[in-house]
Amino acid sequence: MIKKILIANRGEIACRVIRTAKRLGIATVAVYSDADAQALHVRQADEAVHIGGNASADSYLRIDNILDAIKQTGADAVHPGFGFLSENSKFAQALDDAGIVFIGPGIRAMEVMGDKIESKKLADSAGVNTVPGHPDAMENADEAYEVAKKIGCPVMLKASAGGGGKGMRVAASLEDVKDGFIAAQNEARNAFGDDRVFVEKFIEQPRHIEIQLIADTHGNSVYLGERECSIQRRHQKVIEEAPSSFISEATRKAMGEQAVALGAAVDYKSAGTVEFIVDAQENFYFLEMNTRLQVEHPVTECITGYDLVELMIRVAEGQKLPMQQSDVSINGWSFEARVYAEDADRGFLPSTGRVTHYSPPTTLVNDNGAYTRVDTGIDAGGEISMFYDPMIAKLVTWAPTREEAIEHMQTAIDAYRIRGVQSNLPFLSALFAHPALKAGDLTTRFIEDHFPDGFNSAEYEGEAFEALPLVAAWIEWRSRLRDRNVADVPAVTTSSVMAAVGHSQAQIREGADTDTIEESLFVFEGDNQLEIELNVLVGMESDWEPGEWLFRGNLDGVDITVGVERIGNWWRLSQGGSVRDFLVVDPHVAAVMHHMPVKESQDLSKYLLSPMPGLLMKVLVNEGDKVTAGQDLAVIEAMKMENTLTASVDGTVSKVAASVGDSLAVDAVIIEFE
């Protein structure tokens, strides 16, 4: 039996493994880099060992350092989580040589399935449906061009050792193939140290659906239903759900049986995922097999009731699976939303820094049984570093029906408070409110098709958008009552509103301020203004108190949850994907205002600034070059992804202020224009 597990990972997945291990009475060891010295997973584990510098290559990818940590702590098993060394057969072999249990599959399965080219060949021989394409990696861009010409565009250029959307490009036409091949090759080399790229047919109107597999060392293998992961951005999953609302029971069974057959072909043991691409007619084709625990595994746990981490540990101990295929059933519906530290309003650029406030939604079960689960590796005071993936947490909901699970997710997102870094919460809210998502009309191009111009929370109109000025007036008025020590505080009720309206002067406690509370308030947003009479507020009920981050109220019988932040004299309210700043003033103040005050801003059109911390990989122009709006100017690598910066206006380059290889801070000047 395993007595002590070292988790060769960080962040939320390390915390996730620790949670199950503690429930099973197994001791845990965390490892950490310089950047993660105070991280949550370090504090939650029974022991923690420093393994190197900030960069992954100096810490979490150092097999020798992790082996030293195992020796120091006497750990008898290692759980690799996902990413880093989780699918590295050399790491698994080193553990085997040292007599340490690897909580994962066998080495052969990792080697074969870790290579997209070899895995596709094996899948084909095992009777698994495969996408048309060339079986071998391309020697160069010219060869990729010829293969694409033969297959027919669009084609997918995909790194053999890739994962997480890295090293992948879609070439819509032959003109895109060569540049796409070079970009995929460079990204794959930087991310995986392996620049092999192959070409396959790109399936149009595709859905990404995967099968969760679990197998033991006694020849037992079952599939635990499917997950739909179609909503992606840059091939990185954003929202996952289980089960899929699209496929039939017959398709689910066929996909599951093919996944089991593929696992048997490599004598697979432990948890793994077989990913398929599915077209509009439910034809499905093998994409890849991930020989590890998936990021989105919680939705499978929610609908099946099985703890996948526990099953992995039991299998690694040599135990038989506690179920057969006939025991597996699907109960209810579950969604997972990946909460990232990124600014959706600025093209989803990564946001780094210290998390100053962190308040996840409650996990309490509702009357219908719906509940919320938050898997995270961050708490207040934690840091989002430029060295690692920007995911803050996985927000998961379960409910008896798909509709209820979506509604519960929308409420949970509105209740999630993160400050200090930007997050994609407003965008997630907009996604779950979209009619196409609610209808289950999904493809892997969902975001590109429905948000072609990106996302701007200051312009997006959520379902309760029109109620936000009323909320702004209510909380301003509520704050004034508290500031003035009004007698009927603490509770703001219908009677207190009417009392304020019915008297020329509020009833003030002895010795308090005696300012007049006027009978209406003006709410400014930009150049828009709205007068709200206080008696209108009688339809809203809430126990919100000044200083609270979350407003929960009822407006004319409709529940509403709104994020609240005080910024100077403004109220910043967020709800359903909308984020708005409101200024609330008395009528005599509004009478002398013609519009909302706007701060002066510096003209930055003459500069190309770095929108994120990162490494300058390429500068594509020289001094004196004329550029046009939309032209590529530079490439920055941040959080293991290449980001191309383009010109916003026409101009002439007057100075290249940064050099390739420079580490750039946010808003560092790269190029100046005349």
CA distance 352 to 614: 11
Helix, strand, coil content of the chain in percent (nearest 5): 30, 30, 40
The amino acid present at 413, given as its one-letter code, is: I
Nearest to 294 by CA among 376, 398, 212, 191: 212
DSSP one-letter string for 413-428: HHH-EEESS--SHHHH
Whole-number Cα distances in Å, 100 to 2, 62, 78, 89, 290: 10, 17, 7, 14, 22
Nearest to 116 by CA among 59, 185, 200: 200
CA distance 308 to 316: 12
**Is 468:575 a contact under the CB 8 Å cutoff?**
yes
Q: Where are the beta strands (DSSP E) in 121-256?
A: 155-163, 166-171, 197-201, 207-215, 221-233, 236-242
Residues 6+ apart with CB under 8 A from 18: 7, 28, 30, 41, 44, 45
Residue 581, token pair as written in the block: 């700043």
Residues identified as active-site = 288
The amino acid present at 2, given as its one-letter code, is: I
The amino acid present at 241, given as its one-letter code, is: E
Instruction: Please tell me whether residue 380 adopts helix, strand or coil conformation.
Output: coil
Burial status of residue 277 (CB atoms within 10 A of its CB: 0-12, 13-18, 19 or more): buried
Alpha-helix residue ranges (DSSP H) falling in 85-166: 89-97, 107-113, 116-125, 141-151
CA distance 647 to 297: 40
Whether a cis peptide bond, with omega within 30° of 0, leads into 587 is no
Neighbours of 218 (CB within 10 A): 12
Residues 6+ apart with CB under 8 A from 410: 429, 432, 433, 576
Bridge partners (DSSP) listed for residue 583: 524, 570
CA distance 183 to 169: 8
Say which residue the tokens 């050792």 belong to: 161
- 510-545 burial, b at 16+ Cβ within 10 Å, e below that, comes to eeeeeeebbeebbbbbeeebeebebebbeebbbebe
Whether a cis peptide bond, with omega within 30° of 0, leads into 611 is no
DSSP annotation of 2 reads -
Strand pairing of 4-7 and 77-79? parallel
Say which residue the tokens 């409910």 belong to: 399
306 HSE (CA, 13 A, CB side): 26
Whole-number Cα distances in Å, 464 to 402, 494, 593: 21, 22, 27
